[in-house]
Structure formats: C-alpha cells, structure tokens
Amino acid sequence: MRVEIYSRKAIKELIEKGFPANRAVISFCSPKSSGRDDNAEICFGESCDRVFRIIIPDIDIEILSDHGYTYDTYLAEADQLAEFIYRARNDGRDIICQCDYGQSRSAACAAAILQHFEGRGIDIFADYRYYPNQLVYHKVFDALEGYKGKHLICK
C-alpha cells in the first residue's frame, strides 16, 4: 500500500488533471471557527469514490481545552478512520492523506499508517518537509492498533 501526502492546493490540481485510480483519500479540513478563508471541504465529485473527511483544527495537546476539546473528543472519529484505512488496504487501494498545507495533520496520519503497517513512520518525521501533528499521529496510530486487536487482523 502506497501512502501519499497532499496539500489542499496539490489535491485540487490532481482532481483537475485527472485523479489516479485505486485511491482512497483521508481529507483533513479546518473548522470554520479557525478563521481560515479556505476552510471549506474539498469537493471530490466523481473523481474519487472513497473519501473520509475529518474537520478538526491543527492544534497540539497543550491547547485542546482552549478549543473546546479533550483528548477523547479530538479526532473522535479515529476508530471509524481505522476501519476506513483497513478496508482501503484490504481492497488493494493506495491512500492519499490531505490537509491544508500537507505538512501537519496529513503527515501525521500518513506516519501513523506507515508505522502501523510497515514500521516506518519515522520516515515522515525525519523528512524536513513535514511537521507531523503529534496528537493526530497518536490518535490514528492507537486506533489502528486497537482495530487490529479487535479484529485479529495480521499485518
């Protein structure tokens, strides 16, 4: 399974020029309350038939409560995301992780996926282009580990 990281701009360009087949997308979007001008969800239309959308701010654990979150409520859909990732993998799909700049939430998600399935999440952390969000990484990785444990799925 190939895991790719895209920014909002890059994914829009990919949609315009022709989306590659056999992909599943995990699309992170900032909530309207973040004040970003471009916080609307990306419309994939018919370009991709498997998209998991997550609307969360790109924040660290130290300021969760400032944004009305607890550890449990931030990325509350992590278990459903783990199931989405496993289904994509089992169906032979590659995964695109996308967020606003393609550096933090998407990189963290990609690192968690790569760590869980291939033991090489450090590759993302070591790449100077990325600043993986630690909170997103741990929530996704823990959900993947829990999913594997509940469903007795071998790597």
pLDDT in tens, 97-134: 999 999 999 999 999 999 999 999 999 999 999 999 99
Q: What tens digit of pLDDT does each residue of 30-72 get?
A: 987 655 555 568 888 888 999 999 999 999 999 999 999 999 9
Token pair for residue 143?
């959900």
Q: What tens digit of pLDDT does each residue of 66-83 get?
A: 999 999 999 999 999 999
- Single pTM value for the model: 0.92
Domain CATH for 147: 3.90.190.10
Number of folded domains that form the chain: 1
Q: For residue 8, count other CB atoms closer than 10 A to its CB.
A: 22
Residues facing 94 on adjacent strands? 23
Q: How many Å apart are CA 126 and CA 78, to the nearest integer?
A: 24
Q: What tens digit of pLDDT does each residue of 4-23 get?
A: 999 999 999 999 999 999 99
Find the domain containing 112 and state its range: 3-151
Is residue 99 within 8 A of residue 86, CB to CB? The reply is no
